[in-house]
Structure 1
Amino acid sequence: MKKVKDMDSSWKIKYPEQNIYVMRDHNWAFAAWEIARLNNEIKPGATLLHVDFHDDYCEPLEKVTKIETRDQALQIAKDLEIFEFIKAAEGTGTIKDVFMIGDYNQPPREVFHSYTYNQFENQYRMDFFKNEKESHILDLDLDFFNLHAYQGIERNYDNNPFRYSEEYIKYHLKRFKQYYVEGDWDLITVSISPEYCGGDQTSQEIFDFFLEVFELEYEKFINW
């Protein structure tokens, strides 16, 4: 596998056995969800848990209504900004209800928002998993673990990281993994987002923690 410093903007892999899609840039999550729907890995109208330092909940410049092929999904994702992919997937009907965990000053009104994982556990977990017939997606941006990820602070873009401790990061990753072990996640998408993690080194460290906790270090992956 490539190191983060060698990944270009289109880098993305999948662990087929685990149904985990990993990408450098978050706009590719749109394609992952659409391809998963086309492959019957998830059902339309999936419930999403978006865990990210940013809400990424902006309308795409051009309306997206229907995706019928893998190539179409990839092309649309390529053209999306990194903050447009959730709304785009709502437009196609692939995503229905959106839950978020992130410390946003003004969280979107249309979503079920938690500032912390504990708040999600205590307030929304039962609502999130209430319908077993729906598909459930975990969408994790690794910049969630960098306190300097706020894009409005220009000096922190691609530098000046303030990473949480290894213990803190692994603790939260294990909590997300518990639902994977219990079979509650139908799909997991992970964005590395090196610029918002504070640079290649910090994002590599967090990515390595993810691979370790989810036991993917030696698993076979494919490019997609």
Structure 2
Amino acid sequence: MTWKEDDNWKIVFPDRKIFIMKHHNWAFVAWDIARDKGWIRDNSTLFHVDQHLDAAIDGAMVPGVLNKKGLKELSKITQSLYGNKSYVGTDNFIWAGFARKTIQNVIYVSPENPIDDLFDIDSHSHHLKDHLSQKRIEQFAGYHWRSMETFEYSQEKKINDIFTNGNTLILDLDLDFFAYESKTDTEHTCYKLKDKEEIQRDLRVLKDMYVWDAITIALSPEDYHIGGPNNAEFVLNLFLEEFQVDLSQGKDWSTLELK
């Protein structure tokens, strides 16, 4: 089945270290697989480029998130829904990855305004004191850039270097980053794509920014994210073209499992 029919659709391109998934919750599993394969080291720096921050901390509270191992076990604690304390979902997978020490520093590139300070250690300590050590919580750090323009400026000024030097790097891109909220003629909320040329340019910038140690791509084809499956397919094709990926060569994630 293709991604249009299968909610759990996900493929990997081992030679490129690129994981593509329909829903973003699977990203934390991909990071685990990448670590098992030696593509990334513990405590990698994550560049999360997304219309949404996906910064819910309850991903670190999910039972089993610290000790499950491998694709089969991790699959049992994730769902392609908004997450909560019971399972890793599409908005709390970053903190699940932090809890598992696949990632540590996070560079958010997202127009979304956070409800709370993304790096408020006191607040995180209060909510996670029964789940993570204080030492671990204090290691969470990063930046939040609200547009590609401010992100590129931060790169030019080498502001992010403090979190990249000596670390393995993950590009985590949700294709809904290339959509924006708008209104129909009847004042209903809808999501429209940015201009094709802008999307292509931004993809090119992201591709060339670093020699990425792993890349995770989420389609998020819902109407309320990217504007529907047609928009997701359009941007996916732009990604495949820019990153020179042949979708037909994708493999099932299970092929990467350590024997």
- TM-score when scaled to structure 2? 0.75
Residue in structure 1 matched with residue 105 of structure 2 by the alignment? 97
CA RMSD of aligned residues (A): 2.1
- Structure 1 residue 75: Cα displacement: 2.5
Give the Cα separation in 1 of the matches to 2:248 and 2:11. 12
Which of 199, 216, 223 is matched with 1:169 structurally? Answer: 199
Residue in structure 2 matched with residue 113 of structure 1 by the alignment? 144
**Greater shift in the superposed pair: 54-63 or 160-169:** 54-63
Residue in structure 2 matched with residue 5 of structure 1 by the alignment? 4
Code of the aligned partner of 1:101? V
Code of the aligned partner of 1:74? S
Instruction: Describe the superposition over 1:111-146 as per-residue Cα deviations: whole angstroms up to 9, x where unpaired.
Output: 410011221222256343454431100000000011
- Structure 1 residue 91: Cα displacement: 0.8
Give the Cα separation in 2 of the matches to 1:38 and 1:218. 24
Residue in structure 2 matched with residue 152 of structure 1 by the alignment? none
Which of 188, 201, 213 is matched with 2:230 structurally? Answer: 201
Residue in structure 2 matched with residue 57 of structure 1 by the alignment? 55
**Greater shift in the superposed pair: 71-80 or 40-49:** 71-80
Structure 2 residue 20 is the aligned partner of structure 1 residue 22: yes
Residue in structure 2 matched with residue 128 of structure 1 by the alignment? 160
CA 1:219 to 1:11, structure 2 compared with 1: closer, same or farther past 3 Å?
closer
Contact 1:48 1:136 in 2 (8 A): yes
Give the Cα separation in 1 of the matches to 2:148 and 2:52. 15
CA 1:46 to 1:66, structure 2 compared with 1: closer, same or farther past 3 Å?
farther
Code of the aligned partner of 1:201? N
Give the Cα separation in 1 of the matches to 2:96 and 2:249. 30
Contact 1:27 1:85 in 2 (8 A): yes
SS of 1:173's equivalent?
helix
Which of 219, 227, 239 is matched with 1:210 structurally? Answer: 239
**Greater shift in the superposed pair: 129-138 or 202-211:** 129-138
Residue in structure 1 matched with residue 69 of structure 2 by the alignment? 68
Give the Cα separation in 2 of the matches to 1:17 and 1:42. 14
Residue in structure 2 matched with residue 45 of structure 1 by the alignment? 43
Give the Cα separation in 1 of the matches to 2:102 and 2:68. 9
- Structure 1 residue 80: Cα displacement: 1.7
**Greater shift in the superposed pair: 39-48 or 68-77:** 68-77
SS of 1:44's equivalent?
coil
Code of the aligned partner of 2:91? F
Give the Cα separation in 2 of the matches to 1:139 and 1:25. 12
CA 1:70 to 1:81, structure 2 compared with 1: closer, same or farther past 3 Å?
closer
Instruction: Describe the superposition over 1:168-221 as per-residue Cα deviations: whole angstroms up to 9, x where unpaired.
Output: 1000000011135xx2x1000000000011111111111111111111136721
Code of the aligned partner of 2:196? E
Contact 1:12 1:23 in 2 (8 A): yes
CA 1:91 to 1:175, structure 2 compared with 1: closer, same or farther past 3 Å?
same
Instruction: Describe the superposition over 1:39-75 as per-residue Cα deviations: whole angstroms up to 9, x where unpaired.
Output: 2111010000100011001122525223433322332
Give the Cα separation in 2 of the matches to 1:203 and 1:219. 17
Unaligned stretches of 5+ in structure 2?
A: 80-86, 120-141, 183-187, 254-259
Residues paired across the two proteins, number: 211
Structure 2 residue 179 is the aligned partner of structure 1 residue 178: no
Say which one has the larger Rg: 2
